[in-house]
Chains A and B, each alone.
Chain A
Amino acid sequence: MTADTKFTGQTFKSVGTRPLRPDGIDKVTGRARYGADIDLPGQLVGSILRSPHPHAAIRAINTSKAEALQGVKAVITAADLPDLTNGNKELFDILDNCMARTHVYYDGHAVAAVAAVDAVTARKALKLIKVDYEILPHVTDVDEAVAPGAPVLHKKCFTQGVEPKPKKPSNIARRSEFGHGDVDAGFAKADVIIERTFRTEQTHQGYIEPHACVASISPDGSGELWVCTQGHFVFRQHCAELLGMDVSKLRVTPTEIGGGFGGKTHVWAEPVALALSRKANRPVKLVMSRDEVFRASGPTSATSIDIRIGVTKKGRITAGDATLRYTSGPYVGMWAELGAMTSFACYDMKHVRTVGLEVLVNRPKTTAYRAPSAPMAAFAVESVIDELAGRIGMDPVDLRIRNAAKKGTRSSYGPVYGPIGIGPTLKAAKEHPHMSAPLGENQGRGMACGFWFNFGGQTCTDLNIAPDGTVSLTVGTIDVGGARASLALVAAEELGIPYDQVRTVVGDTSTLGYNDMTDGSRGTFSSSMATIMSARNAISILKERAAKMWDIPVEKVIWEDGCAKAVGKKHGNLAPLSLAEIAEAAPNTGGPIAGHNELVADGAGVSFATHICDVEVDPETGRTQVVRYTVIQDAGKAVHPTYVEGQYQGGAAQGIGWALNEEYVYGDDGRLQNAGFLDYRIPVCSDLPMIDTQILEIPNPNHPYGIRGVGETSIVPPLAAIGNAVSNAFGVRMTHVPMSAPRILAALDEAQAAASEDVETA
């Protein structure tokens, strides 16, 4: 981090406006090219054979009949993807997940793949592959996986983070702990303590575009990959390592992306497509079906969370304790650890402890989903906070304000906070008209807070001045939500030219230096920082060229309003030179003009949000409708407010689906029962109200324009906000997400039965 990335407090002309996005027309007219829209001459169709069993040893695979089928050009198994991971456990897990080696660990695990001249032939070939399985006991439920006697997925899995090392293997791959103080002493000071267990079911990111790629490996060993991804440089790295290629010999071109939300940060089919292409010596297109996306890409964790919080009658939290069990699929992740870090991060607590347990189960490998792991932890914590407020007769917003973390608070995950924004979001919620609007029959209102770490990362941009003075900006972070428009605004701001004079494109891996993925809410935060520096780099060259054109010292040239201006008594009367005039003269003043920058954009700053939600519950059916929803979040500086609002609304919409409908349903046979959008129901427009947003702008001190990431935090509060709203509608505490109609009806019946018993007892 260099000093010139600090916030300067400048005023803006372009940043903060709402122009049309450059990719909009192509997207709404169908011209935009997504992963499956790429076609190459001689291209084959790739298809993957997947395990129907949740857990089995692979005794043998016979591919001879498939290979003999006319039209089949290649059949691969794990033997065609040899282990080149050199002891790198994380990379080996990626390899094993892409193509099972000795065992299959979930329904849908890939065991072989085919490249054929068409899809029909590929499907026929898959049916001719014979896999000899030894079926093993399985476990898909988080609590059953940690119970004594549960089938153990890996005999060498001894819980990490426990001293002394356990003597028996288990499905708890890792234990992590955070916190400070003495929770027992804290609970001793509490007037009211609530202890509950919460469960959340596994959900999928639900991106509309399935994973799709076209791979082409040349006989000379170089290759190309066109793919929908959140991080083409990371995909290049992983694919090259898994296939034993030099990284620079694999060129990865990102297509448009039809949603990712964390699910496209990981390779699934891409190494398989490359291996098929290498064997067939032809390009191979591989598109996952929706069924495959559900069964064999990376959903978020199912969880089981024990939580205990104590407060005084005056509303001071005295202690909090949580044990969080998160499913990780068959491979260890850091999902429970993230839940443990985020769970109490909104609050100023003297005594707090969180324990995260990564639980292995026979489900697909867990992957990041928008603020990964935080929504489930927030559901548990924010539900109990709300219940405590009711028990001590305090307004839930006031209780949160009273205990909100602030500058100088030791966070529950460790460090002391610098300036943070939860207080302003709570104050804005308190004052928001939504909080005092009247409620109708069978309606309830809830609110909740959420926290997420944002981060930055390695970033690189090019800014090229065309001969007519227009600007081409090339970035290496995937545009998942309007970033091309935002980054064009930033370039326009810095250069002092109109927005429509800048065109932003996402470059391929051969165009730019390495860029980290678009994750951690980093796309606009990081690439805007590099864009500012690229523009400043270009401006310094433009000033030099202007000085040459005027034949004056460069020290006498400034850049202002998109022009070079000469200053000083001697030269101040020279007419300004526009960007177009300098660009036109470039051939004779030193050649092309460009700005370039590479940096590590650290200092993103943590993020907080507060949501308010009204629901209406049908007491006959249990169906719950969100009737009003408000998101309040700090953006630092909203570069393009429409797309900031879009991120807030999108996160809330996904959270609403998670809270009310979405869940992976496994049968006793360990097979996924609802691998399609008919049975796994994400919200559609008619399910949602217009989601209101309030953007707070508290500048990030570590960004020249004060920008913060905004992409993830908005999915953190909805589970709890809706849970609190449902609970407030009927006085029934909901502890199991999704709060689907059957679960709400069951909770209502249970409450009515309890009330009847009370009456009879009385």
Chain B
Amino acid sequence: MAQHEVKLWSALRPFAQGESSVRIKARNIRELFARLEADYPGMVPLIRQGIAVSVDGTLYRDSWDTELPAGAEIFLLPRIQGG
């Protein structure tokens, strides 16, 4: 299972000791969130509210089965609203 550098937007950083990224082993978004909840419990409410995951520049809001390829850029962002 690949280990990823997961970049955090500012709202998540206080729950990761102020770091702008964390290292997580995960095969897909579901495992990524499970690992984040276990390692950084302060993020749980935000994850439950909804977080978007950018995988190599493509935003995923709900597809938790999306695979995280080794070396992919993974960026966590707010779950945006639209009009």
Residue positions of A touching B, CB distance < 8 A: 1, 90, 160-161, 163, 176-178, 205, 261-263, 265, 334, 337-338, 341, 368-372, 411, 413-418, 453-458, 519-522, 600, 602-606, 702, 712
Contact assessment for A334 and B57 in the assembled complex, using a CB-CB cutoff below 8 Å: no
**B57 contacts which of A372, A415, A458 (Cβ < 8 Å)?**
A415
Task: State the CA gap A411–B9 with chains docked (Å).
Answer: 13
**Cβ of A600: which chain B residues have Cβ within 8 Å of it?**
61-63
Q: Is B77 part of the contact surface with A, judged by Cβ < 8 Å? A: yes
Give, as a whole number of angstroms, the nearest-CB distance from B71 to chain A: 12
Task: State the CA gap A394–B14 with chains docked (Å).
Answer: 43
- Closest B-chain residue to A452, C-beta based? B82
Contact assessment for A414 and B14 in the assembled complex, using a CB-CB cutoff below 8 Å: no
Task: State the CA gap A263–B82 with chains docked (Å).
Answer: 10
Contact assessment for A702 and B58 in the assembled complex, using a CB-CB cutoff below 8 Å: yes
The answer to whether residues A455 and B75 also contact, given A178-B10, A414-B7, A600-B62 and a CB cut-off of 8 A, is no
Task: Tell me how many residue pairs across A and B have CB atoms closer than 8 Å.
Answer: 105
Contact assessment for B66 and A1 in the assembled complex, using a CB-CB cutoff below 8 Å: yes
Counting chain B residues whose Cβ lies within 8 A of the other chain, the interface size class is 20 to 34
- Closest A-chain residue to B62, C-beta based? A600
Q: Is B69 part of the contact surface with A, judged by Cβ < 8 Å? A: no
> A90, A262, A453 — which one has the most chain B CB atoms within 10 A of its CB?
A453
- Closest B-chain residue to A369, C-beta based? B83
Other than A176-B11, A602-B66, give 13 A-B pairs with Cβ distance below 8 A: A1-B66, A161-B11, A334-B80, A334-B81, A368-B81, A368-B82, A372-B82, A414-B77, A415-B7, A415-B59, A417-B57, A458-B62, A712-B82
Contact assessment for B59 and A602 in the assembled complex, using a CB-CB cutoff below 8 Å: yes
**Cβ of A337: which chain B residues have Cβ within 8 Å of it?**
78
The answer to whether residues A521 and B82 also contact, given A418-B58, A453-B59, A455-B61 and a CB cut-off of 8 A, is yes
Give, as a whole number of angstroms, the nearest-CB distance from A268 to chain B: 16
**Cβ of A520: which chain B residues have Cβ within 8 Å of it?**
80-83
- Closest A-chain residue to B52, C-beta based? A455
> B57, B58, B63, B75 — which one has the most chain A CB atoms within 10 A of its CB?
B57
Contact assessment for A176 and B10 in the assembled complex, using a CB-CB cutoff below 8 Å: yes
What per-residue 1/0 map shows which CB atoms of B2-39 lie under 8 Å from chain A?
00000101110010001000000000000000000000
30 CB contacts below 8 A, A to B, read: A160-B11, A176-B9, A176-B78, A265-B83, A334-B81, A338-B80, A368-B81, A368-B82, A369-B83, A372-B82, A411-B57, A413-B9, A415-B54, A415-B56, A415-B57, A415-B75, A416-B56, A418-B56, A418-B58, A453-B59, A455-B61, A457-B61, A457-B62, A519-B83, A520-B80, A602-B58, A603-B59, A604-B59, A605-B58, A702-B58
Task: State the CA gap A603–B54 with chains docked (Å).
Answer: 10
Contact assessment for A603 and B75 in the assembled complex, using a CB-CB cutoff below 8 Å: no
Contact assessment for B78 and A1 in the assembled complex, using a CB-CB cutoff below 8 Å: no
Chain A contact surface mostly: loop
> B7, B58, B77, B81 — which one has the most chain A CB atoms within 10 A of its CB?
B81
> A369, A370, A414, A415 — which one has the most chain B CB atoms within 10 A of its CB?
A415
**B10 contacts which of A161, A369, A602 (Cβ < 8 Å)?**
A161
**Cβ of B73: which chain A residues have Cβ within 8 Å of it?**
415-416
- Closest A-chain residue to B8, C-beta based? A414
Contact assessment for B60 and A602 in the assembled complex, using a CB-CB cutoff below 8 Å: yes
**Cβ of A371: which chain B residues have Cβ within 8 Å of it?**
82-83
Counting from the closest, the 9 A-B pairs by CB-CB distance are A262-B83, A520-B82, A418-B57, A368-B83, A415-B54, A519-B82, A415-B75, A370-B83, A177-B10
**Cβ of A265: which chain B residues have Cβ within 8 Å of it?**
81, 83
- Closest A-chain residue to B29, C-beta based? A602
Task: State the CA gap A368–B80 with chains docked (Å).
Answer: 11
Residue positions of B touching A, CB distance < 8 A: 7, 9-11, 14, 18, 49, 54, 56-63, 66, 73, 75, 77-78, 80-83
**Cβ of B9: which chain A residues have Cβ within 8 Å of it?**
176, 178, 413-414
- Closest A-chain residue to B57, C-beta based? A418
Contact assessment for B58 and A603 in the assembled complex, using a CB-CB cutoff below 8 Å: yes
Contact assessment for B10 and A261 in the assembled complex, using a CB-CB cutoff below 8 Å: no
**Cβ of A369: which chain B residues have Cβ within 8 Å of it?**
83
**Cβ of A702: which chain B residues have Cβ within 8 Å of it?**
58
**B75 contacts which of A370, A414, A604 (Cβ < 8 Å)?**
A414
Task: State the CA gap A265–B77 with chains docked (Å).
Answer: 22
Task: State the CA gap A121–B73 with chains docked (Å).
Answer: 63
Give, as a whole number of angstroms, the nearest-CB distance from A714 to chain B: 12
Contact assessment for A372 and B62 in the assembled complex, using a CB-CB cutoff below 8 Å: no
Give, as a whole number of angstroms, the nearest-CB distance from A172 to chain B: 14
The answer to whether residues A261 and B83 also contact, given A337-B78, A414-B77 and a CB cut-off of 8 A, is yes
**B60 contacts which of A1, A90, A334 (Cβ < 8 Å)?**
A1
**Cβ of A341: which chain B residues have Cβ within 8 Å of it?**
77-78, 80
**Cβ of B63: which chain A residues have Cβ within 8 Å of it?**
1, 600, 602
**Cβ of B18: which chain A residues have Cβ within 8 Å of it?**
163
